[in-house]
Amino acid sequence: MPRKRLSMRNIREILRLKYCNHCNIRKISTSCGIGRSTVSDYLHCAKASGLGWPLPEELSDGGLEE
């Protein structure tokens, strides 16, 4: 069964917690109320895309989703 997609707000929060607050995956998972593997997947995708924190201001939610 496919996973439900996270909101862009949650994805931004994952990136903020990781890169600004230097939280580990377990702490991010607890804070956002999502699974550790989901957090890990989104961080892996962000890293592969070259995204860090702060996100570029011109990056829209649609651009972040891509």
pLDDT per residue as tens, the chain (66 positions):
566 778 888 999 999 999 999 999 999 999 999 999 999 999 999 999 888 888 888 878 788 777
Is the N-terminal amide bond of 56 cis, ω within 30° of 0? no
Nearest to 16 by CA among 49, 39, 35, 41: 39
Instruction: Kindly state the DSSP code that residue 34 receives in the 8-state scheme.
Output: S
Token digits for 48?
């592969």
10 Å Cβ neighbour count for 25? 17
Predicted TM-score of the model (pTM): 0.83
Locate all alpha helices (DSSP H) within the chain, ordered by sequence: 8-19, 25-32, 36-48, 61-65
